[in-house]
Amino acid sequence: MTITRRVFLKNTGIAIFGMTAMPMFLRNAMAASTGTGKRVMVVLFQRGAVDGLNVVVPYAERNYYSMRPTIAIPRPGQGGGDGARGAAIDLDGFFGLHPNLAPIEPLYRQGLLAVVHATGSPDPSRSHFDAQDYMEAGTPGVKSTVDGWLNRALQQEREPRPSTLRAIAASPNLPLTLRGQAPAIAVPDLRQFKFFGSPRLVETNFEAMYANTVDKVMRGVGQETFEAVNTLGKLDPQKYQPANGAVYPSSHFGHGLREIAQLIKADVGMEAAFLDSGGWDHHVNEGAVQGRMGNLLTDLGHGLSAFASDLGPRIENVVFVSMSEFGRTAHENGNRGTDHGHGNYMFVMGGAVKGGKVYGRWPGLAPEQLNQDRDLKVTTDYRTVLGEILRSHMGIADFSTVFPDFIADRPSNFLNLIRS
């Protein structure tokens, strides 16, 4: 009999964190439970097209270095002036992590973090806005889709009394990914998600006004708002203490992850969470180890590492996935930046993930191996990755509406990166 790590973890609660554990942390982890066990999917959208070739670096590709004379990340151990810290962190002898992602290296080693490379949308658009829409709608090339893939996935699960808080975006407005028939709400800031002043009269009046309006749009959003306020008002975000000494970066991204962790632990019925981060569009002075992109990756690394330790054993119920509208040119451009490209990377992280591996077929970076002579090819449709998470982790069986015209539910297509 094989004891899956999942079972093992459920029994010990702390096994996976052993490497970095501290006494206080151990006690907390022991005390914590995995809650109601509701499965959660957390989606990060990196807007602006992140340069995946500098996030997960194909350092064994000679072409990578000839194409990127000033912005390449040095091979492991060849960090020059910066020593070991200035070089890629080896993952598997071929790929390496950007050095500023050192905080998540342990997650990869512990098998919680997987990478998919050369993934993306089959649509050739290099327009940020079209490509984001296509990716979020889940229907590349189709402009008329008005709802998002994750919302349609939630429509598949029929619960007798679905929670208003099933789907939450940590942003002021609802992203297309979560728009649609299934209830989904935007919570920009938990600390301010309440009626200020004297709540009772104000709240009852507003609630009744919005319940009685003939304006269907306003009535729907109003109802969701009041239900959410009633539940979330009971949380006390000001006093929230991340577990296990986790320290989130004080960025928009760090703040969003922290609130998502709090919502997961509060068992409010959330199944899907969304957040995004911007500023990845580096046409100019992208930087290599240091620089603008390097700073954003520091934020990403610290955020994900804090999220994982804050969740503790609850990470068993969570799968985090990142995506970006497209990748960037394999060659650096004339301004030490990169232009809009095609294939990219995705991170998949969580207790159910078969991590510690870089998935996907690597198409290579030789001139004849590139997409339109300039970009990394897409060898894994991003919907294959999402589809596997939805099916194996979230238990969604029917993809006919989630990803129409895309057969993601054929197990042979899956990368087999999620334990089911």
Residues 78 to 117 in contact with other proteins, rule: CB under 8 A: none
Per rule CB under 8 A, is residue 149 in the interface with other proteins?
Answer: no
From 315, 172, 347, select the one nearest 256 (Cα to Cα). Answer: 172
Whether the CB-CB separation of 326 and 126 falls below 8 Å is answered with yes
By three-state DSSP, how is residue 238 classified?
helix
Cα 258 from Cα 237, distance rounded (Å): 10
Amino acid letter, residue 379 = T
CB of 362 to other proteins, least distance (A): 24
Q: Restricting to residues 336-375, which ones interact with other proteins according to CB under 8 A?
A: 336-337, 339-340, 372
Residue 141 in 3-state DSSP?
A: coil
Q: Which of 30, 84, 201, 366 binds other proteins (CB under 8 A)?
A: 201
Among residues 117, 126, 152, 265, the one that binds other proteins under rule CB under 8 A: 126
Of the residues 279, 356, 363, 364, which one makes contact with other proteins according to CB under 8 A:
279
- In 206-316, at which residue ranges do the beta strands (DSSP E only) sit? 272-277
Choose which of 100, 119, 121, 177 interacts with other proteins (CB under 8 A): 177
For residue 29, the tally of other CB atoms under 10 A from its CB is 22
Residues 374-413 that bind other proteins (CB under 8 A): none
DSSP 13: S
Binding segment for other proteins among 91-99, 122-130, 351-359, 360-368 (CB under 8 A)?
122-130
Residue 293 to residue 289: CA distance in whole angstroms: 8
Instruction: Say whether residue 11 binds other proteins (CB under 8 A).
Output: no
31 binds other proteins (CB under 8 A): no
Q: According to CB under 8 A, which residues from 234 to 273 bind other proteins?
A: 250-252, 255-256
Binding flag, residue 230, other proteins (CB under 8 A): no
* Spatial distance between the Cα atoms of 232 and 193, rounded to a whole number of angstroms: 7
Closest CB to other proteins among residues 29, 376: 376
Contact predicate 318/350, CB 8 Å? yes
Task: State which of residues 79, 111, 162, 188 lies at the interface with other proteins (CB under 8 A).
Answer: 188
- Comparing CB distances to other proteins, the nearer of 98 and 126 is 126
Specify the residue, 283 or 357, whose C-beta has the smaller distance to other proteins.
283
Residues 6+ apart with CB under 8 A from 45: 132, 135, 136, 175, 177, 274, 275, 276, 277, 322, 323, 324
